[in-house]
Amino acid sequence: MIRSAVREDVPTIVRFVYELAAYEQAPHEARATAEDFERDLFGPAPAAQVLIAQDDATGEPVGFALWFTTYSTWLGKPGIYLEDLFVTPAARGGGHGKALLTELARIAVERGYGRVEWSVLDWNEPAIGFYRKLGAGPQDEWTVYRLTGEALAKLGGA
């Protein structure tokens, strides 16, 4: 079962984010707090949305997808950017990841969006294989750049 997250899911979202960071071999980079998610997901101007995957038998959360809208000037349409997709190791292979992506695709189609896109680490072969089986393809001609930390502060005048 896939459902939209509610404020009471914040502790679960925090746990999933930190489990994902550990899986991606970067636990030291995860700094988000429950307060951050309270403010940015459920405050007056939500910056992102979250879907929760629940185990059909127990109702326990087993995964999540955190996403936000983007805009393609070339398509002239909004799109969805999937920031995080995570399913707990014990629940992998149970269809939860596919169900989360299927729901995102349904939302995109229903709203007339032009795409759903995300990034995947080059070494994450299980995820790459999973995404390819769903029909997703890499955008090899693009390289993601990031401005963060001291460089962001310096450029932004802080």
Catalytic residues: 131
Tokens at 85, concatenated: 């997709």
Q: Are strands 116-118 and 77-87 parallel, antiparallel or unpaired?
A: parallel
Tokens at 88, concatenated: 């707990």
CA–CA dist 33, 9 (Å, integer): 13
3-state secondary structure of 152: helix
Residue of 112, 30, 50 lying closest to 77 (CA atoms): 112
Query: Tokens 């997250």 identify what position?
Result: 5
Strand pairing partners for 77? 72
On whether the CB atoms of residues 103 and 120 are closer than 8 A, the answer is no
